[in-house]
Structures are given as C-alpha cells and as structure tokens.
Structure 1
Amino acid sequence: MRVSHAGTVYDPAATSTAARPAGDRARRIYGPPLDAALVAASLVNVWANVDVEESLAMGCALLAAFALVLRRCLPLAAFLLTLPTALVTDAVWAALIALYTLSSVSRHRVLLGGCALAFSISSFLPWPWTDIDAAELSEAYSLVELTATLATAAAPVFLGQLVQARRELSQRLWEISRAREHEQLLMTQNVLAKERAQLAREMHDVVSHQVSLIAVQAGALQVGGSDPAARRTAATIRRLSTQTLDELRYMVSVLRDSGSRPTELTPQPSLADLHHLVDTSGIGAELDADLPDTLPPAVQRAVYRTVQEALTNVRKHAPGATARVHITCQDGIVDVTVTNTPPTRPALDLPSAHHGLAGLRQRAALLGGNVSCGPTPEGGYRLQVRLTAGSTA
C-alpha cells in the first residue's frame, strides 16, 4: 500500500480485487451450463468407447465424467478421479478436460508435468500391467504412438498455461490502466491544490487588506463624525466590513486546507438568521416567512442565500426602493419570492460579474428547483425561487 502526497491512499491489491467481480459474475452465469455440457460430452465419449458389459471400465468412465463437476473448486482432485478411466478405457475426454482445468489455474510446473506423465503412462500402457510382455509391447506399441500419447498429454497443459497467462496479462493491463487513471487524478488534485493556495494568497494579501482599510476608515468616521445619520451609516459599513473579513479569513483557511483534510464550510446560515439578514440589509424590507424548522440544511442555506442575493441586488440596482420577502412551504415545495418597488434615485455604477443569479440557478438546480425573475408592471423587480423541500444536495 502506498500513500500519495495529497493524502489519497492507493492500494494495488484493491484494484486487483476490484477487477474480479466481472469475471466472477461471468463464471456464475456461464459456469454451470458449461460444466453440464462438458459432462454430457464426456458421457457421449464413454458411450462410444466403453462396453456396457465391462463393469470396471464403465464405472471408472462414469466416475471420470461426473468428476468434472469438481473441476472448478477442486481441480487436482477432479483430475485424479478421471485418471483411472485413462488406464482402463479409451474414453479420455474427461481426463484431458480435467488436466486442462488444472493447468489453467496452477503455477506448479512440476505438478503439471507429473500429472501429464501419469496420464501418458495410464493411456499408453495396456491394462492390467501384470500381463504386459516386453516383446509383445515393443511389437504392438511403436515410438510414434508413444510420441502421440505424450503430445496428447502435453496439449491441454500448454493450452491451460496459455489461457492462464492471457488472463493474468489482461488483469495486469487493467491494473496499469487503473494506476494511470489514479496518477492522473493525483496530478489534477495537485494542480488544483496549487491554484487554491495561490487564490488564498491573493484573497489574503489584496482583498482582506482592502476590506480592513474600509473597516478602519468607517470606524474613524463613526467616532469622529458629527452627523448622526453618517455615523449610523459608518457603523453599518464597519460592521459589514468586519463580518466580511471573518468570512474571508475562513474561506482562506478552507482554500489552504483543501485536499489535505475534509473541511466543512461552517458556520452556515439557516432560517433562524433570516430576520437578522433582513433587518441589517440597509433597505426597507418586510419578511413574511412560514417555514418548518425541519427543512434540510441545504434547503435552509439556499433560502438564506436567495434572500441575501435578492436584497443585495435591490440595494445595488434600486436605491431607495423597498422590498418584500415572502416565503412559503406547501406540498414539499419551498417558494421564495422577493419583490421590490421602483427605485427613487439613480443606481450607482458598481462593478458586477453577474455571477449572483447564475449561482442561484445552479444552487436551485442541485436541489431540484428553478429560478424565475423579471420586472413587475409597477416598475419594480421580482425574483422567485422554487426548491424541493426534501432535497439534501
């Protein structure tokens, strides 16, 4: 087992075992019909080569045929049970099939060679061995027949070894492919970690610095200002700047920790924070919410972010307007509607990347909802978001 630099564990043994279920399923599906077909073929071979009246030969042949049922779980035992039929009969299909199966799963070359030799001897020499006459044997059995018998025994051994090598090669290629995919994933994660670290530095060095200056100057204006309205405005700017700094610092820590350990974006807003959000929005806003407290946290965050984005847009694009926030939950659907009146003064030219509504649409889509927005007949604007109450994304 190896541990990567990004903390991801990579175990080659795990990838090896991960490739086996497909083969196991294939063996479970096709194994029994194939075994039945091989037993049937061996019985046909017995019927063609063994006389029914020869009880010993018939018993050994039938034992060999039905022993093929054990060839997957006990290949060596299956071959040993088929060996007597090669000794007393010419029905050797079962023995050859069992020898092939043993060769396809065993790496023991000496064992395979001994099994092939045992089959050759059993098939070549006549039975019973006590009646063998050397002179008759040399006349009846030639070198050609001996060579053919050895070749017959060697063929299933070599074929089984070839199948085993091919299976192992396919497995190895699959493992190499998985290892390369894992390596590519680690490289991608490494690049992303570097980009997050760079983004965290930029946020800390540039954004946090500028927001800190805003908070300091707002605090000075709050203390030294003579106009009560200006002082209240400065207090609001200072409070919002301080809150933004806290969120920025936390986001910087999240970006720096990404990829090294799990992080939770906490604290996250909930429905309990809606009243505070509306009261501190800086505009005249009315909240009408009728929601259960049992909504999933993801839905509660989506509702909060929707109201936050809508009130921010009202403050930026409709100065002097008032807003009404209406939230209901019926039949498992959460409906958030934010409507504002027409602006009473020109809007300030503020920079915007237009990511707010796009982010709301993405968040709503993840929760099985949708977003609709547009101007009202009175000259205001309405934003409506519908979410599925049971979503947990």
Structure 2
Amino acid sequence: MTAARTWWTRIPAPVVDGVVAVVAVLDVLFNLEYTGRLEQATAALACAALAVRRRFPLPVFLLTLPASLMLDIVFAPFAALFTLAERSRDRRLLGGCAVLFAVASAAPWPLDDLSSHERTWTLVYFFYTLATAAAPVLLGQLVQARRDLARRLVEIEEAREHERLLHSQAVLARERAQLAREMHDVVSHQVSLIAVQAGALQVAATDPDFSEGARTIRALSVDTLDELRHMVTLLRASGGRATELTPQPTLADLHRLITTSGIDAELIGELPPNINTPAQRAVYRTVQEALTNVRKHAPGASASVRLWQADNGTAFGVTVTNTPSTRPSLPLPSSRQGLIGLRERAELLGGSFESGTTADGGYELSLRIPTETN
C-alpha cells in the first residue's frame, strides 16, 4: 500500500490530466464515423472540458452528457464522474449524476418513437449502464475515504506527539516543584537557622575578630537565602523550555506568545504600559488559554488577539476570536478548568469574563477589567 502510494503521488497532475484527455479523444475517435457536426462539437466540448475537471467537477460532468447521448462513449463521462465522486460528499448528488449518465447513454439518438421491443432493450441497457456507472462513483468515494484516513492518521500522530510533549513537561514540572519544596522546607530552613545563630553570636561576642567572623557568616547566610528564594521561584514557575517565557509574564511577552503559538494569529491594538502586574498577567493568561484551545479544538483555524480600552476610560481588556476549524478536531483530553480559572482571575480583579461561539461557527473569549482596580 505504501509503495503504491509512493509511485502514484509522484505522478504530476498535468501528466495525469494529459493521459485522461488522450484516452478520451481516442474513445471519441472510435465512435465518430458517420456523425454530423453537432455530434463532433459535443464530443470536442466533452474532451476539452476534462482539462478543468478538478476545479469544476459538476459542470464538466454535465458537459459530457450531450456527447454520451449522441455517441457511444464512456471514458469522458466516467472520468468526470470519478472526479466528482472524489471531491463531493453529497451521495444524493452522485446518485443523481449516475442516473443522468445512464439515461443519456441508454436514450436513442436521434430521439424518436420507439417500438415496444426497442423500449424493452432501452430499459435493459439503462439498468446495465447504471450499474456500470457505479464503478467510478465507488472508486472516487474510495479515494476520498483513503485521503481522509491518511489525513486523520497524521492528525492522530500529531495529537499523540503533543500529548507526549505535555506529559514530559508535566513530569518535569512535578520534579521541579518537588525540588523547590525540598529546597524551601529543608535547605532554606537550615540556612535561616545559621543566619539566626550567627546573629546571636555577633551580638554576644566580646572579641572584635570573633564578632566580625559572625557578622560575615550572617551576611553570607542572608545572601544565600535570597538566592535560594530566587531559585525556588524559578523552579515553581518553570515547566520546561517549551512553555517557559518568564516567571511572571507581562504584556511585553504577548508578541512572543502569539508568534510561537503554532497557529495563524495576529495581535491588534495595545494597552497602556502602566497597567499593574496582576492585570497584565490576567491578560496574558487569557490569550495563552485561548490560543491553546484553538490549537486543541479548532485545527486549521486562525485567530485575532485584540487589546482594547473603553472610550470613556473606565475599562480595558482583551478579546480573542478564532475562525471555525478547517479540519476535523480530535478528542483530546482536557481538565475543562481553563475557562473557570480565567473567570476567577477576572472576578479577583473586579472584572468579567465571557466566552461563547460566534455567528460563523468560531469562538470568542473576552476579558474586561475596570480601570479603578489598576
């Protein structure tokens, strides 16, 4: 199956179209004997229309029907019907087109009254042609299903790779959190005791040299505590290189977040730089959660991130809107707590958070923060 796919996909589309046109012309030439100009014109039109069958499959198929009515040809309508079946998911349309081809092939030309015997054979030939027309329809649907399956397998593999990455990052985050707890609960406690004891010795010492040594030990212990607190903060905030921007993300990090999100997203507008840190963090987390949801639940969609301020200056916020997905989404595991967390952040700042589907089938998140809380 892999080898067949390899050699088939290597053939350029123009080469395939050229072969189809040549075979259609040969099929017509074998049936042009004792025909008039009308029949020749319809046959030429049917062959020429095959050049655009990939772009306009239904009109091309309809253009082949007059030739099928006037001449005993099958390749041109079969090629058009196969292309239509490969691209259309409307089975009623495909069945109707197969019936139209069977009618055009079975009907006599020129159209005139038939005897009862000829009517019987016309009816028999109609069902025979209808059964034959099922071949390109089924083959086109099979090619379509195979293409969908290949795309689905690629998406499943991408989802598995994403889940493996998330799992490795979660393991790394747990290990760093555990290390941070050990450093905070054990090492920081011991260094704090050293600093306290050194301070007591410095106060109680009568020898100047002894007092200076105790002061040095106390100063080094305090510096060590500061470094340990900084390291604990970094370990708790960092979950791995793929998600690590800064321990406390701000509005300045939005551009990098959007450009590295892996989706087609744009940043519109700006907010004043004097917004306090909790508000900046809430805006950042809202954009981060929105882009993550687009990646997981709306594959192929594009998004716009709009920073805004109310005209009367009473509020500011961010609105993230994404278009509908262009590919089927995969059922990925989710804790369903992201939107709840964003709503809680907004309420802590005295603001509001809204989310829901848009009129065109997309999705929109909006965070509003009152200015007086800034």
Specify the TM-score bucket, using the shorter chain as the normaliser.
Answer: 0.5 to 0.7
Alignment partner of 2:113 out of 119, 126, 132: 132
**Counterpart for residue 216 of structure 2:** 236
- The question of whether the paired residues in 2 share the 8 Å contact of 1:50 and 1:90 is answered with no
Alignment of 1:78-89 (within 5 A): 78-89=60-71
- Aligned position for 1:152: 132
RMSD value, Cα:
2.9
Q: Could you say which residue in structure 1 is the equivalent of 2:151? A: 171
Q: Distance in 2 between matches of 1:58 and 1:153?
A: 23
Aligned positions of 1:1-393 closer than 5 A:
30-51=12-33, 54-129=36-111, 131-135=112-116, 137-138=118-119, 141=122, 143=124, 145-259=125-239, 262-264=244-246
Q: Distance in 1 between matches of 2:53 and 2:9?
A: 13
- Count of residues in Structure 1 that have an aligned counterpart in Structure 2: 240
Contact 2:31 2:72 in 1 (8 A): yes
TM-score norm. by structure 1 comes to 0.55
Question: Deviations 1:291-330 (Å, cap 9, x if unpaired)?
Answer: xxxxxxxxxxxxxxxxxxxxxxxxxxxxxxxxxxxxxxxx
CA apart distance, 1:101: 0.9
TM-score under structure 2 length normalisation: 0.57
Question: Deviations for 1:197-243, whole angstroms, at most 9, x for unmatched residues?
Answer: 22111110111011112222233333443444444443333222212
Alignment partners' CA distance in 2, 1:119 and 1:142? 14
**Cα–Cα, structure 1 residues 96 and 234, in superposed 2: closer, same or farther, change >3 Å?**
same
**Does structure 2 retain, via aligned residues, the 8 Å contact 1:126–1:132?**
no
Conserved 8 A contact 1:68-1:78: yes
Shift of 1:157: 0.8
8 Å CA contact 1:57–1:85 kept in 2: the answer is yes
Amino acid in structure 2 at the alignment position of 1:103 = A
Structure 2 gap ranges (5+): 249-374
Larger Rg: 1
* Counterpart residue type for residue 191 of structure 2: V
Structure 1's 223 and 265: CA in aligned 2 closer, same or farther, altered over 3 A? farther
CA contact (8 A) 1:83 1:119 kept: yes
Q: Which secondary structure state, in structure 2, belongs to the residue aligned with residue 49 of structure 1?
A: coil
* Alignment-mate amino acid for residue 98 of structure 1: A
Identity of aligned residues (%): 53
- Conserved 8 A contact 1:50-1:91: no
